[in-house]
Amino acid sequence: MLLTAIEVSPGFAATIHRQPGSVPPGSFVTYKKETLYSVEFFCQQGLERKYGGEPCLAYMNYHAGSNATTYIVISDCPEVPQTVDRIKRQLIDMFALQSSSDEHEINPFIIHGMLAKEYTTGFNNSLHTIRHFLFEPLEDVQRVLVKPDRAALARLTGNLHRLSESIDTLLSRLEFAMMALDSMAIAHAQMFNVIREAHDSGTCNHILSMGCAQKQKDTISYLSITLTTLKRKLETYQMARSNAMTLVFNLVTQLDAATNMTIAKATREDSMVMKTIAVLTMVFLPATFASSLFGMSFFQTEEALNGVGMKWWVYVVVAFPLTMLTFGGWFGWMYWPALKRLFERIIHNSHSQKTDK
């Protein structure tokens, strides 16, 4: 019933039930019987003092016939009532100041401008908070550069990731706030034009002066420039965070490379030990085989021998070729690919020499 009594447009009523962060700005001009009736504008205003806060939805309805302006502010953020009370006090002071002067004109968009100023201040405070949180990881990166530590790098990676989420969230809301200010500037210029046209045609008794309109236009422009500056600062922080994350990734990669080098060195040492064991085995195994073979019963004679037998050289003749054969087989098996390439190169060179002749 309240929305009906205020004559809220259906376009705004449909946005009330949407999720925060999904309401685009809207502007409506209503005519009745070829006469300007009302000008409406609504947008989402971010009133957060921290980058985790929720925005609010602000609606304005300017009634041309009565020259009255109605505002509706919707939000579940606990800081919004405090902000609204602060704006009320500012309006009371403004009305008191104007009652003592000759100026009695108030721009219908003035509360939208006050709300925009409030969330601009909130964004600035959030930016200082992020800047404070950014310097600590950057100092940690400098310390880790001197003495790399996996535990410190893991902790630093988590901190930078959380900081990245906060920066991305605030950057998204800054862009949305800049879009709302751009729409506000367009809607304000449109309202000024339609009110002046209606006044010139005699269908509206009220008019918005150039001075009042220009003052609000300058306010919106200043806030837009301020948000653009904050966005550039935030993008700088985002770049610093990205560089720090890249450096941490490179440090982790270097630690992994150093670990792999250590493992490779240990593996190489183990390989040398295994090769030594294999060589010793090949030295003693054929000789052991030959001694076991000749120690069998069918190699024994009936006469017992004292001392070294006359045919001891048979053992050497058998054991030595077996040892060399074992070494040759092992060498060929281990280095066959290299030997194959060597033979192919020799054959290729011989064919080349024959072709040249």
Predicted local distance difference test score (pLDDT) of residue 309 = 61
- Report residue 29: phi and psi, to 5°: -115, 125
Contact 137, 159 (CB under 8 A): yes
Residue 201 CB neighbour total at 10 angstroms: 11
pLDDT digits (tens, 9 = 90+) for 164-187: 888 888 888 888 888 889 999 999
C-alpha span between 62 and 70 (Å, rounded): 7
C-alpha span between 149 and 8 (Å, rounded): 61
Range with top average pLDDT, 145-159, 211-225, 258-272:
211-225
Predicted local distance difference test score (pLDDT) of residue 52 = 44
Predicted local distance difference test score (pLDDT) of residue 48 = 46
Mean pLDDT of 193-206: 84
Mean pLDDT of 45-55: 54
Mean pLDDT of 33-37: 86
Higher pLDDT, 190 or 352: 190
C-alpha span between 68 and 45 (Å, rounded): 22
Q: What mean pLDDT is reported for the chain? A: 79
Q: Which alpha helices (H) appear in the chain, and where do they start and end? A: 2-6, 10-13, 80-99, 110-146, 150-200, 210-294, 313-356
Read off the pLDDT band of 13 (50, 70, 90). Answer: low
- pLDDT(241) > 80: yes
User: How open is the CA angle 248-250-256, to the nearest 5 degrees?
Assistant: 105
Read off the pLDDT band of 17 (50, 70, 90). Answer: low
Least confident of 15-29, 35-49, 222-236, 248-262: 15-29
% of the chain residues with pLDDT over 70: 84
Q: Is the dihedral of CA 48, 122, 112, 190 positive or negative?
A: negative
Least confident of 10-14, 172-176, 314-318: 10-14
Predicted local distance difference test score (pLDDT) of residue 337 = 80
Read off the pLDDT band of 50 (50, 70, 90). Answer: very low
Predicted local distance difference test score (pLDDT) of residue 230 = 92
Mean pLDDT of 97-110: 73
Q: Is this structure's pTM higher than 0.85?
A: no
Q: Which residues contact 39 (CB under 8 A, 6 or more apart)?
A: 27, 28, 29, 30, 61, 62, 64, 108, 187, 190, 191, 194, 195
**Exposure b/e, 49-69, CB count within 10 A at least 16 = b:** bebebbbbbbbbbbbbeebeb
CA distances from 52 to 79, 132, 354 (A): 12, 16, 83
- pLDDT(246) > 50: yes
**Which of 225, 236, 122 minimizes the C-alpha distance to 173?**
122
- pLDDT(235) > 60: yes
Range 322-325 contact pairs with CB under 8 angstroms and sequence separation of 24 or more: 322/286, 322/287, 322/289, 322/290, 323/282, 323/283, 323/286, 323/287, 325/286
Mean pLDDT of 193-211: 84
Contact 47, 118 (CB under 8 A): yes
- pLDDT(102) > 60: no
Predicted local distance difference test score (pLDDT) of residue 226 = 93
Predicted local distance difference test score (pLDDT) of residue 232 = 93
C-alpha span between 123 and 47 (Å, rounded): 8
Higher pLDDT, 167 or 303: 167
